[in-house]
Amino acid sequence: MHFVPEYGILQLPGRARGNHFSSIAGLCSFAAPSNNIMMQFYRKTIKTREKYVDTLAKLYEYATAAHTKRQFTQYYDTKEGGYTFAEFKDACDSLSKILTQYGLGSGEKIAIFSQSMPNWSVAFFSAVSFGRIAIPILPDSSENEVNNIVSHSGSRALFVSKRLLSKVSGEVMSKMTLVIDMDTLEIIKADESSFTCDGKSSVPTPDDIATIIYTSGTTGSAKGVVLSHRNLASNVITCYHSCPRCRNDRWLSLLPMAHTLEMTIGMLYPMFCGATVYYLQKPPVPALLLKAMKVVKPTTILSVPLIIEKIYKGSVLPTIRSSRTLTWMESHANRLMCLIIGMKLKSTFGGHVSFFGIGGAKLDSEVESFLLKARFPYAIGYGLTETSPLLGYSMHGWRTVGSLGYPVYNVKLKLHDINPETGEGEIVAKGPNVMLGYYKDPSRTKSVFTEDGWFRTNDLAVQDAKGRFFIKGRKNNMILGASGENIYPEEIESVINNIEGVTESIVVERKGRLIALVQPCEGFVDWDKDSEDKIYEKLEGWKDRILKGVNRNVSKTSQVSSVEVMKEPFEKTATQKIRRFKYKDSAPTVESEKKK
């Protein structure tokens, strides 16, 4: 047996060097060895692997050499369209050669516009492993957003799925040197005049740009977040230290791969571990999810709060309300009731989930309290696109309702500009995962860093005696009260969202008054069958209950003046956060329609 320090892996004797490796990931999939010599070797190989993987190109080389025969990606219901690590490397290398033939060498921008699928990672690594820059575009982007991203980034090639091809305008197509069908990896359009074979690839360094991710967040204009190879590779190592996974783990992918949460923790991290990621071929509606979980029996799932909150409100609460026994237990044996329901919930998720990561937004406190008492294996992840994304996490024994927990490995967090009266300050961060800046926007880049180089998250928080962080709200969402007090709409919304019949809500300020915009649960109002008078009568009574319910449970300074009902769902970001800026001045509510 030989140790190969360049890769941090083991090579078995009698096999060709470079072709057949036994990975240290195999050692990591079992309990750490008890023998002192083996323990030292174990630690050395772990450190060597981490030191080696400082770019996505090295992650690519390591993973495809160490896990050659293992399955990397596949659809949950068929083996067609998936890849072993060896097949994945062949596909990436072949695509890179095609890009090279059309003059698309290192530094060129390669746009990826597709829903999640095995070929997404192929497109991504055919770019980043060879010095090109990937430009992921979220699948729910509009035609205009696609135009803007392609134009602003200067992309010359585009991978696009059949499902989203209709959103690609003729203007965008005309600018492309190469357009490739994401489903088949066949060329849709090529500029033959560019077939010069002079596109030279290169080996990227840690500080080279790997990807530019465009996000409008919840505040308006799009930002191109520039992430280096070091940013993403370091966050993969962070993931391993925060929650070790191994090659026997099974990921079920639910979120768009164009978002850093899924890209880093749902694609790059399982690649590092040698694990398998399963994909859905259709949007993740509840019936399909239940079927997929039964087949895959995932150990690892990444989610956003809205998914688990919908399960709680749409399944858990109705189950309790419909059972006299559970209703009695809710008041007299609450923990036991939660444990019973928690066992059923884990079974629903396939029975093998050991890590259910929730990120992208704050989890509702009532839902988190239930998950905690149910001993459901959830973990809270905190971060931003600008930080690749992980900054903080809460899991295992230190989980506390409402807390993001502690900083992750190799990242520093602290509160900046603390208010001495309230203890509130803005969370600022330092670490190798913090972005290089915003693309073509030096003034915006400068505005998000302190003078001594800490990244400003825009999240206001406090810390408890144990050092855990508790977010109060977004700094730019904060409303200044009439007497100068800070009002956090997120705290008021948390109360509103736990009132019967409410799915989601946001609180906005208009003319010095707090207005609550609420979205009813599905089926709460039958817009098609009920008469207009009956609908308005029901809604008026419901609004009155919401108004009284919320104002009983918030401070005097956070009292809501009126409630308006949304007829259509709120417009959201990829992580299901409401785009608040869209509703600041007006909103398409039932009340506004009635006035017309």
Angle between helices 85-101 and 118-128 (to 10 degrees): 50
pLDDT of residue 483: 65
Using alpha carbons, select from 301, 117, 264, 215 the residue that is nearest to residue 572. Answer: 215
Q: What is the mean pLDDT of residues 258-280?
A: 97
Please report which confidence band the pLDDT of residue 221 belongs to, taking 50, 70 and 90 as the band edges.
Answer: low
Using alpha carbons, select from 358, 491, 463, 477 the residue that is nearest to residue 407. Answer: 463
Using alpha carbons, select from 458, 579, 580, 518 the residue that is nearest to residue 140. Answer: 579
Q: Is the pLDDT of residue 313 over 90?
A: no
pLDDT of residue 5: 32
Phi (first) and psi of residue 531, to 5 degrees: -70, 160
Q: Is the pLDDT of residue 19 over 50?
A: no
Q: Is the pLDDT of residue 472 over 80?
A: yes
pLDDT of residue 527: 65
pLDDT of residue 593: 61
pLDDT of residue 31: 44
Using alpha carbons, select from 267, 125, 272, 257 the residue that is nearest to residue 201. Answer: 125
Q: In a 10 Å sphere around its CB, with 0-12 CB exposed, 13-18 middle and 19+ buried, how is residue 242 labelled?
A: buried
- Which pLDDT tens digit goes with each residue over 344-380? 999 999 999 999 999 988 899 999 999 999 999 999 9
Please report which confidence band the pLDDT of residue 590 belongs to, taking 50, 70 and 90 as the band edges.
Answer: confident
Burial of 289-310, coded b for 16+ CB within 10 Å and e otherwise, reads beebbeebebbbbbbbbbbbbb
Q: Is the pLDDT of residue 263 over 50?
A: yes
User: What percent of the chain is modeled with pLDDT above 90?
Assistant: 68
More confident residue, 421 or 14: 421
* Residues whose CB falls within 8 Å of the CB of residue 253, separated by 6 or more in sequence, listed in order: 116, 262, 266, 277, 278, 279, 280, 302
Q: Is the pLDDT of residue 596 over 70?
A: no
More confident residue, 134 or 567: 134
Q: Is the pLDDT of residue 314 over 60?
A: yes
From residue 201, give the alpha-carbon distance in Å to each of 65, 91, 94, 105, 108.
20, 16, 13, 5, 10
Please report which confidence band the pLDDT of residue 55 belongs to, taking 50, 70 and 90 as the band edges.
Answer: very high
Task: Please give the full DSSP string across 345-401, using - where no structure is assigned.
Answer: HHHHTTS--SEEEE-SSPPPHHHHHHHHHTT--EEEEEE-GGGSSEEEEE-GGG--T
More confident residue, 142 or 301: 301
Q: Is the pLDDT of residue 48 over 50?
A: yes
Q: Report the alpha-carbon distance of residue 484 to residue 374 in Å, rounded.
A: 41
Q: What is the mean pLDDT of residues 306-333?
A: 90
- Which pLDDT tens digit goes with each residue over 476-515? 888 877 667 788 899 999 899 989 889 899 999 988 899 9
Q: What is the mean pLDDT of residues 332-349?
A: 94
pTM for the whole structure: 0.85
- In this structure, the dihedral spanned by the alpha carbons of residues 546, 548, 554 and 558, taken in order and rounded to 10 degrees, is 80
- Which pLDDT tens digit goes with each residue over 180-195? 999 999 999 999 887 8
pLDDT of residue 529: 64
More confident residue, 457 or 32: 457
Q: Write down all domains in the chain, each with its CATH number in brackets.
A: 2-52 (no CATH), 79-229 (3.40.50.980), 232-434+452-474 (3.40.50.12780), 479-595 (3.30.300.30)
Q: Is the pLDDT of residue 237 over 90?
A: yes
Q: Is the pLDDT of residue 323 over 50?
A: yes
DSSP-based helix, strand, coil % in the chain, nearest 5: 40, 25, 40
Return mean pLDDT, the chain. 88
pLDDT of residue 534: 79
Q: In what order do the strands lie in the sheet with 513-520?
A: 502-510, 513-520, 562-565
